């Protein structure tokens, strides 16, 4: 099947929420999967976080730039080890993604993209409806999907429930949500195991979100 079958024009799913199918070419997808393998190796590793009420997330994740755990960003890992730095290549990717979604790159002087969450979904992993609201900045969230297709549920800012739109996110798809949709509830009710492009050598789904934390890199002591 042609990879270009799924490339298409940007689709506005909600005001400020844009889906760009097949935005990342296959060779860039493969390179990014390799980078994810490096990032997953440490020092934080892929963690399935425990939620405040005791449940364990089914998605395994690591973060770059800042250490995310429910529901905060920290400058170091729990044992004091520095967090793996946010790679410059991801900052450049975020800027290109914002431009592709909205027609203009992030304005000069806006809070920089400085944190990436790398999420891994095995066949059983899901992510419940939530808002991305641990950031102190409201720059758009940039989301890249690799590997298995998933159902991405994109809702509204008021409730975890309807109205929402289910979108299939395939390997290479870009989804950007900002502006009036920046705090919309969203989640991943399921993936479609075995749908990853074979050339990626990936069993499961990776999702990378790029965000501006809005947090000071070197807060005053
Ligand atoms: O896996 C996805 O597509 C969504 C991930 C997500 O919502 C998050 O990391 O906050
Ligand atoms: Fe999210």
Per the structure, the complete domain to which residue 51 belongs is given by: 3-211
Contacts 24+ apart (CB under 8 A), 105-111: 106/139, 110/137, 110/139, 110/212, 111/136, 111/137, 111/139, 111/212, 111/213, 111/214
pLDDT number for residue 5: 56
Q: What is the CATH number of the domain that holds 106?
A: 2.60.120.590
Ligand whose nearest atom lies closest to the CA of 143 = 1
Q: How far is the CA of 185 from the centre of ligand 2 (A)?
A: 8
119 lines ligand 1 (CB under 6 A): yes
Q: Taking 60 as the threshold, does the pLDDT of residue 61 lie above it? A: yes
The verdict on residue 216 lying in a domain is no
How confident is residue 10, by pLDDT bands cut at 50, 70 and 90? confident
Is 145 within a domain? yes
Whether the CB of 127 sits within 6 Å of ligand 1 = yes
Residue 117, in any domain of the structure: yes
- Please determine, for residue 221, whether its predicted confidence score (pLDDT) is greater than 60: no
pTM of the model: 0.95
Ligand 1 atom 2: the closest Cα is on which residue? 207
Closest ligand to C-alpha of residue 145 is 1
218 within some domain: no
pLDDT band with cut points at 50, 70 and 90 for residue 11: very high
Q: Report the pLDDT value the prediction gives residue 217, as an integer from 0 to 100.
A: 74
Which atom of ligand 1 is nearest the CA belonging to 59? 1
In a domain, 198, yes or no: yes
Query: Mean pLDDT over residues 57-66, rounded?
Result: 98
For residue 6, name the pLDDT band (cuts at 50, 70, 90).
low
Residue 147 lies in a domain: yes
Q: Distance, CA 105 to ligand 2 centroid (Å)?
A: 22
What's the domain count of the chain? 1
Q: Is 149 in the pocket of ligand 1 (CB under 6 A)?
A: no
Long-range Cβ contact pairs of 124-128 (< 8 A, separation 24 or more): 124/58, 125/58, 125/59, 125/60, 125/188, 125/191, 125/204, 125/205, 126/58, 126/59, 126/187, 126/188, 126/189, 126/190, 127/57, 127/58, 127/59, 127/187, 127/188, 128/160, 128/187
Q: How many angstroms does the Cα of residue 79 sit away from the middle of ligand 1?
A: 26
For residue 125, the CA-to-ligand 1 centroid distance in Å is 12
Residue 1 has pLDDT above 70, yes or no: no
Residue 220 lies in a domain: no
Please report whether residue 217 resides in a domain. Answer: no
Please tell me the predicted confidence (pLDDT) of residue 9: 78
ipTM: 0.99
Ligand nearest to the backbone CA of 149: 1
* Position 3 confidence tier, pLDDT thresholds 50, 70, 90: very low
Q: Which residue has the higher pLDDT, 221 or 175?
A: 175
């Amino acid at each position: 099947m042609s990879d270009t079958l799924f490339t298409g024009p940007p689709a506005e799913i909600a005001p400020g929420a844009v889906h760009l199918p097949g935005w990342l070419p296959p060779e860039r997808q493969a390179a990014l999967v390799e980078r994810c393998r490096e990032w997953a190796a440490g020092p934080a590793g892929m963690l399935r976080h425990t939620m405040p009420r005791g449940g364990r997330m089914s998605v395994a994740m690591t973060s770059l730039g800042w250490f995310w755990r429910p529901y905060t960003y920290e400058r170091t890992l729990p044992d004091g080890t520095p967090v793996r730095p946010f790679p410059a290549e991801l900052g450049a990717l975020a800027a290109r993604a914002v431009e592709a979604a909205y027609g203009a790159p992030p304005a000069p002087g806006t809070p920089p993209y400085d944190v990436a969450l790398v999420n891994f979904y095995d066949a059983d992993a899901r992510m419940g409806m939530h808002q991305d609201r641990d950031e102190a900045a409201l720059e758009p969230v940039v989301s890249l999907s690799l590997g298995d297709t998933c159902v991405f549920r994109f809702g509204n800012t008021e409730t975890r429930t309807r109205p929402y739109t289910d979108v299939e996110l395939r390997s290479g798809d870009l989804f950007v949500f900002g502006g009036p949709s920046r705090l919309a509830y969203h989640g991943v009710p399921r993936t479609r195991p075995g749908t990853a492009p074979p050339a990626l050598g990936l069993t499961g789904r990776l999702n990378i979100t790029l965000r501006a934390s809005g947090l000071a890199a070197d807060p005053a002591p």
